[in-house]
Structure 1
């Protein structure tokens, strides 16, 4: 079984190849091609097939992480979208709720008003009404739907969202309206709210449906084009794409709910980090990690607690300021990457990011026309990145120009030395990332000192030790092949379908038999979808959960309740919810009634997975492995200090070896910084553990 994982980032595109029969695993990085990201991906695949002497026709699975949906939203570059909704409810997606992004600002930007996904002139209403109990209060006026579709066709609006009130209880009107629109405007992409996510809260449901239509055509066209290009290359395998929930989607899933790809790339990195971390934790302990994926443009932070990847709460899921009501891994993204630009603002403040030099022109060190100093340029100035190691020496790293850029743009205006300015760049960006981690740990009642920091991405291992020191995290893990871990993570996940239905009843009044029947229906729906994707029954697993809240609350928590084989007692659901509420908010109300709001079923269809390969014992003593020793600058409480620092190639290290800092461990896809107060230890499968010597004395 041969697998290819392809992850497209802002600066580099990563390709990972694994042959499960021979155990061969290879990685490759190429520059991202912003105008058409698939070009860089195809180049990487073509080159990697040549490197491994693999016929493209032998590849069985192509797994892909893409930012196409995210970028479409953030750049407000979707298609002209129309909406058909219930009469008198035309402005739901404009009015929103009483909450605003910034509660007390009178100059804030409200995305759904300033940058509407559907312009008001393209919002059409039709007479119809489903009542709050799911019954038909007023029949759908089909002629009005046909007229609206004809108007969209004449206006050139080819993507249409259909969202009616209470359709999550009865979607008959939405289904019929879609049939009519497709008859009148057969070239249109049509999506309904019940297909996207049938859940209460009309503003969020309508907005999510509108976003599905807004990003749908470009996402679908990209996926179809990429699959055609793969076929032209000789690849006969179907394309599978990472979703925001950590599962893999087929082409049919992408076509129906392209909005599910909004966190496609970052999600794969968290999966890869958990997969590598699982092997380093004793069998009787749970995996508890903070993931830090720092690439060229941004840093993505996720949490794995008690072996489970933390998912975002429905009240917190948003992209670009728009609420998005779909299952998502809880990821915090900030503008902190190797390409983040450092500058002195008009007020004289020293800042780093969120602007990035990206893939083109990139940092000054890339010698591609970049003139503004970046985080990467600071590392080069401090002597931490060497030309011969960076991407195997293929890029041709410039080492003198970065210092000159930092001197003119930062050091001179601030009246400091270029070395101090470079250390300042790193201190600022490290603080930004540490604060983002605090928002996911300390502010959620989690002690970061009880977690392992897993650092990856091209830039993550350079910053890991400093962030761990600032947050008092005792153990840091740098996985094998950290620069391409998101591509590796693609090969460790499964197909996934989610299904939800709204219940609205007090937990104490729920009929257990009726509850089992509802879950049985959800289970059948998601398993049927997987069987349609050619997944055998013995490869399907279903997990059930329930969204609960105290009566009178506005938001709920998702309570895991078991598998498709049994539904636990309602008392067990109540106890679990009380415990989760206390963990999330610091208190609970055990005497208050609990309301059951939504029922959920998640089905996973297991796919072939990559395997961890032991690296074996060392071939040489650690003192004999340094390929060079040069001065590298480190900061601290006093003046910047130059340390004679050995450079070691990671591939030369064997299991069990330890390396005291300062040291630089270099590899093709990343660089690991071991500061003077840290020690690095090589683990069984090639992962490297960093520990702060001061903490462990």
Structure 2
């Protein structure tokens, strides 16, 4: 490890959550982990403070840090809190209401009372959507009606009057010919030099005007604030003497530059959760367990992803919705629910016992934090049950007040329901576990995946306290706890490759494509490859280290949506049959059937450029010498388990356990960033890197 880090500069991964900011540092002297509270008013303050603190912990000059990889929830939070920029929009005459109409889909088919997010929370208000005369003709992309430039300038005058600083430009058929969108952008920047401008043809050059317009609108909605945050963070790092390259985790599991993410923040809407999935997949490799279900439980939310055979899945573009709005950006396949350590328990107006999705966050935080919070949370319930030790949080650096937890659970839950404080706390844990189990099933069973063939991998600060209960609920094989559960998402940031993607609409019959059609497809593929290569070049990646993959998105003639198929570097009349066969195979895999004799259409080409980053590798720990794991025993305290039994339960310092050590439950494994619960009837076995497998005794 030291040799690897000596050859290369130090690197830091920083993952910002709703409650804590997690950091991991890889340098010549080893790997260091750290947590600091998230500064909600400006996350960059906490990031800089955390970077300086972890460098001090390692006695490292911050100037020696080569790269900082950052997972951020800034863009995500904007969509959740609905506080993005007021946008203006220029669109084709007659199509002003595309964003309102959508696809005529009902979010809840059989309910008369439902919310339509794209109408109740529009990304661009109707009064700010201005239609102008222009028309590109299909299918060839010829100019049918020239752009009315005077109308564009008049719209800009209206935008200035309404103090709009973000503009969306989405014209019909611009995916065939973007001339009008590009000219409109030039005019907007002449009239409004400081405007943040998004073209639909730049962020989603594909068919389907609603999804394309929605993607462009989302980019402009989150763009100004996200760009400000990223550039502010970069400036604050420079001001603190940190000259590192700053890279940002994208929703697809790859990393990119600040400039690219500031221009296209739609690619970092799921930045935070993506790092956890990548980190979980890497931990699975170390544990020799290819089938895992990652459950990243932080202070605010739980992010769940199913990884079969070690392959991280990317969602189909038709399924990528953010806050109810379609966004055509590649994203790792995961489910997020409001379930975390800070999730608030309450009795609703009907007398129902509920937990989440509202969270106490870090300010004021759970009642036990002593920062003014009076509502009981999941963390408070864990303390009441004796599963979290108030004097051991974050290695003792965060002092918690157990009495405040007991009062909150008693006053808000136990007394209203006429039950004991212990029963109320158990109820909070059971409800939150059930909510997460339902989400796990939606990402596995509902998609034809059997959890019995998978291991649950819980991480995040709260994850390992829930791992065994979740495995029981979904009948998973066992539980794998990562080396540093509370920092796993940050670790994943240092195991991610650079990644860029570009698309182009190429609507051609593939089965019957002649030499002319094949030549045109190759020309568009070459242009896409050049775009991706230019971004990798700008990032300083040697051509020899660059990898560019082409993907064909195809469908049967007349079908509604596309599936990905393998695409050769150069398409020929001879090898096009291989693309068609790849599509048939993918269709059969996804739907259980295919039509080998049917016509196949090529709809979109996608170029994916990547460069492999240096992987952070955890060192192997000392193998047990046959001595008792009691060397790691700290003390014992009374702890209440899910079956209602309260038992004297030993605490073990996880850092002092050796590979091969076995600990029978009841037991609690304590470390700085997280706490692992081993219930009665379960056995925890320490693996070679310090990760832990928990399974039922006799299983």
Hey, what's the Cα distance between the residues in 2 that align with 1:693 and 1:622? 18
Q: Could you give the per-residue CA deviations for residues 575-598 of structure 1, whole angstroms, max 9, x where no partner exists?
A: 433333333334434443332221
Hey, what's the Cα distance between the residues in 1 that align with 2:550 and 2:665? 48
Alignment of 1:201-600 (within 5 A): 201-281=208-288, 287-511=290-514, 513-514=518-519, 515-561=521-567, 569-600=575-606
Q: Could you give the per-residue CA deviations for residues 259-290 of structure 1, whole angstroms, max 9, x where no partner exists?
A: 211101001110111112112227xxxx3221
Hey, what's the Cα distance between the residues in 1 that align with 2:573 and 2:258? 33
Hey, what's the Cα distance between the residues in 1 that align with 2:172 and 2:231? 33
Residue 197 of structure 1 is matched in structure 2 by 204
Hey, what's the Cα distance between the residues in 1 that align with 2:571 and 2:490? 34
Residue 649 of structure 1 is matched in structure 2 by 653
Q: CA deviation at 1:401?
A: 2.3
Q: TM-score, normalised by structure 1?
A: 0.95
Q: 2:635 aligns with which of 599, 624, 628?
A: 628
Hey, what's the Cα distance between the residues in 1 that align with 2:185 and 2:380? 53
Hey, what's the Cα distance between the residues in 2 that align with 1:25 and 1:57? 17
- 1:227–1:238: 8 Å Cα contact kept in structure 2? no
Q: CA deviation at 1:526?
A: 0.7
Three-state SS of the structure 2 residue aligned to 1:509 is: coil
Hey, what's the Cα distance between the residues in 2 that align with 1:90 and 1:673? 55
Distance 1:164 1:647, change over 3 A: same
Q: Could you give the per-residue CA deviations for residues 633-657 of structure 1, whole angstroms, max 9, x where no partner exists?
A: 1123xxx111221100110111111
Q: Could you give the per-residue CA deviations for residues 578-637 of structure 1, whole angstroms, max 9, x where no partner exists?
A: 33333333443444333222111111123333222112224752133211122211123x
Three-state SS of the structure 2 residue aligned to 1:686 is: coil
Q: CA deviation at 1:391?
A: 0.3
Hey, what's the Cα distance between the residues in 2 that align with 1:310 and 1:235? 35
Q: 2:683 aligns with which of 679, 683, 689?
A: 679
- 1:542–1:564: 8 Å Cα contact kept in structure 2? no
Residue 114 of structure 1 is matched in structure 2 by 120
Distance 1:564 1:291, change over 3 A: farther
Q: 2:183 aligns with which of 176, 180, 188?
A: 176
Is the aligned partner of 1:9 residue 2:17?
A: yes
Hey, what's the Cα distance between the residues in 2 that align with 1:594 and 1:522? 22
Q: CA deviation at 1:180?
A: 1.3
Three-state SS of the structure 2 residue aligned to 1:99 is: coil
- 1:544–1:564: 8 Å Cα contact kept in structure 2? no
- 2:253–2:278: 8 Å Cα contact kept in structure 1? yes
Q: 2:673 aligns with which of 665, 669, 672?
A: 669
Q: CA deviation at 1:497?
A: 0.8
Hey, what's the Cα distance between the residues in 1 that align with 2:659 and 2:610? 34
Q: Could you give the per-residue CA deviations for residues 230-256 of structure 1, whole angstroms, max 9, x where no partner exists?
A: 011100123211111111121220222
Q: CA deviation at 1:93?
A: 0.8
Q: Could you give the per-residue CA deviations for residues 152-175 of structure 1, whole angstroms, max 9, x where no partner exists?
A: 223211111111111111111111
RMSD: 1.9
- 2:298–2:463: 8 Å Cα contact kept in structure 1? yes
Hey, what's the Cα distance between the residues in 1 that align with 2:509 and 2:571? 24
Hey, what's the Cα distance between the residues in 2 that align with 1:626 and 1:360? 34
Three-state SS of the structure 2 residue aligned to 1:501 is: strand
Q: CA deviation at 1:564?
A: 7.8
Three-state SS of the structure 1 residue aligned to 2:113 is: coil
Q: CA deviation at 1:35?
A: 1.2
Is the aligned partner of 1:187 residue 2:190?
A: no
Q: TM-score, normalised by structure 2?
A: 0.95
Q: CA deviation at 1:334?
A: 0.3
Distance 1:448 1:570, change over 3 A: farther
Q: Which runs of 5+ in 2 are unaligned?
A: 1-8
Hey, what's the Cα distance between the residues in 1 that align with 2:473 and 2:466? 11
- 1:546–1:598: 8 Å Cα contact kept in structure 2? yes
Q: Could you give the per-residue CA deviations for residues 348-394 of structure 1, whole angstroms, max 9, x where no partner exists?
A: 22211111111111111212111111111111111111123210111
- 1:561–1:567: 8 Å Cα contact kept in structure 2? no
Q: Could you give the per-residue CA deviations for residues 541-567 of structure 1, whole angstroms, max 9, x where no partner exists?
A: 122222222222212222344668999
Distance 1:306 1:542, change over 3 A: farther
Q: Could you give the per-residue CA deviations for residues 5-29 of structure 1, whole angstroms, max 9, x where no partner exists?
A: 111101111111111xx25111111
Hey, what's the Cα distance between the residues in 2 that align with 1:684 and 1:569? 46
Is the aligned partner of 1:690 residue 2:688?
A: no
Distance 1:690 1:419, change over 3 A: same
Three-state SS of the structure 2 residue aligned to 1:279 is: helix
Bigger mean CA deviation after superposition, 301-310 or 162-171: 301-310
Hey, what's the Cα distance between the residues in 2 that align with 1:565 and 1:376? 57
Alignment of 1:147-162 (within 5 A): 147-162=154-169
Residue 663 of structure 2 is matched in structure 1 by 659
Hey, what's the Cα distance between the residues in 2 that align with 1:420 and 1:592? 61
